[in-house]
Structure 1
Amino acid sequence: MKKIAIIIAGVFALIAALAVYPLFLADGGENTPLAVTLEGVETEFTLSAPLPETNETSYPVYRTTVSAATLESVEEVAGVFGMTGKAEVANQRTGEVRVVDDSKGELMRLSMYPASGALLYEIPDRQFPDLVEERPSLPARDEAIKIADAFLTERGERSPGAVVNAVEVDQRQEVWEAGGSEPEEVYDVTLAVRYGRALSGLPVYGDEMAVIIGDGGEVVGMVKCWREVEAAGEVEIIRAEEAYEDLKAGRTIRPLEVPGDARVSIEEIALGYWMEPRTIEQETVVPVWVFSGTAYHDGSGESYQAYVKAVE
């Protein structure tokens, strides 16, 4: 019987760290800077948690700094990762600068994005294998963290303030027999060690820092969109009640990821900071209200999270 291999990417999405963005953002996606959208205004919202009171009426604002992403600087970074090759602009829209190296018998890629200084490293054939015939040997959680920390530190990419907030399956492959009702085999192909941080005691949303570990404990990928910041004064924030009204009106930072006729139960409300995706320039980092809960549609529920600007 014919067998079919199916890759399941990002099996356990880390909502708190990555929001609605995949680990490796597609170049074809359209992104805009911190702004509101009016999509999803027909969605029904209910509060299952009290609106929080905060004694603080102002919070710090931060100014960002990013690493240069010139042809020369990207080639230098590629050298740190053991790669050789000429850097080229791979995407005119995003400005992505890429080095491709196949001199060691397998393809390796390293990209940097000038808007954010983000860095993307991958060995595609090992990170996204077409077919897995034997169960990969993946490290236990503590060992995976040691591998990831060492990989980042050796390359000068271990940022101060970064803490591990998840070790989880990143790629999973299912092997199906044609006509079967369930997979014959399920293989965890890679693990992701993900990092997060806080600013002024508030979690940062939108950051990307993850090391991808494959068979035998080998690092097969890394992503880092982690703007360095410095304090730049304070800003007054709006009350949670005002932010909730903005949420119901559809004035969110990103489009609501639910059907317009869905029902959303808000179960947690908190403050945080928002970081833009890797292809978007961001000069300042300001607080946001984060609304988390469950979205119900067609009899099923899924995790929901939305971000509302906490400043006027």
Structure 2
Amino acid sequence: MMIKYFGLLLAFSVLTGCQSNIKGIDQSTTGQYQAENLPSFVIKAISHSLNKPIEEVKKEDYSKVEELYLRVSDLPPELQDKQIDLSFLSNIPKLKSLSINKINAKDYLFLSDLKELESLSITGFKVNQLPVLSPKLNNLTLEEGDLSDLSIIKHLELLQYLTVRHNKIKDISPIQSLRNLIFLDVSNNPLHTIDPVKEFSHLERLQLMNTTVTDITILSSLSKLRFLDIRDTNVESVKSLSGLTELTILLANPRKLKDINVLNKKVKVAEDANYINDGV
């Protein structure tokens, strides 16, 4: 009887020790996983970017990611109104394209660590959250922010695509040195004059919707312009566009235009962009 008792006691001790070791291993593994892992909504975005099942995404995959799209709707509901620290994006060093849509970011200082970044889109921001932007950028969107002074991007001489909709911009003269621009969208800004645009000889698409612009005479020199949006502006004359042989699409309020008949017959005029396949 005594031998049987000691046998049971020994078995219990061994089993307890094993469970303790297993628990320790589990905790260690979990801790390591949490230390190496990014937030779940970022892992999901990486999974989509790499076209790889989310459960197969590993730390070594981070260096393979070149494109990342993060939206506030991807966050858990309880975090969507919270301030989010995005500094962990520094762990994805080879990012070439990054889009952050309406996430309440603590700041964007981590952008300084993304040396390969060429395309950046941020919707919803404060200027004081931004670092000096990389001169490698060729595509930049900064919308729905408090941007009023474009001097912060005047050094981005490689830019070809620039969108700064829904800001507080009154003057675009700081960017007149960006002569590689093909696409410029300054819609929904208190912008009155567009004279600096004359420097953008490569410009193919210009969007001025819902600005206070009244005069577009300066556009007569933009020989490559194909698409122009002047809806909800105070522009009444489009005579200056008559010599633009590449122009094919004009989004405007026709009833406001007193000389629409001067346009080349190939120019499609519409108030709703959905009715036009612009191809630009």
TM bucket (normalised to shorter chain) is under 0.3
Q: Higher helix fraction: Structure 1 or Structure 2?
A: 2
TM-score by length of 2: 0.23
TM-score by length of 1: 0.21
Higher relative contact order (CA 8 A, sep 6+): 1
Look at both structures and tell me which one has the larger radius of gyration over its CA atoms.
Answer: 2
